[in-house]
Amino acid sequence: MPLSDCRQIDLPKIMDQRGNLTFVEGQNHIPFDIKRVYYLYDVPGGSDRGEHAHRNLHQFMICMSGSFDLLLKDGTDEKRFHLNRSYYGIYICPMMWRYLDNFSSGAVCMVLASAPYDEADYIRDWEQFQLEAKAL
């Protein structure tokens, strides 16, 4: 899949003086069924996360609090996103190298995934990723 398939998706935002509400429905707001949810938090200043790709997994990444940057690479091109709101997220299609950095204090990154954890789906070596990406 090309990098252009990865994109920002705005989510419903129901505004209320008591506080706002946003929700995500699989196969409605995002193009897959949600099979797993995980989140990153308490990331020390100056740290980064990610540095891997998934062969088959679709993901949707939301910044629930604070801010951070997401860099996506397809083996040829790259695109950087700055996430700092909980009412939109970034759809990440399979075979995208991801790198997260620039975490603010108190940042929380929530990820919705299309499948349960499967170590065999990971590509953790950049050179291996480039070989597999070119073969597509």
Active-site residue set: 52
Rounded CA-CA distance 93/102 in Å is 22
End-to-end CA distance of the chain: 8
Number of neighbouring beta carbons within 10 Å of residue 128: 11
113 strand-pairing partners: 36, 59
DSSP state for residue 5 in the 8-state scheme: G
Burial of 64 per CB tally in 10 Å (0-12, 13-18, 19+)? middle
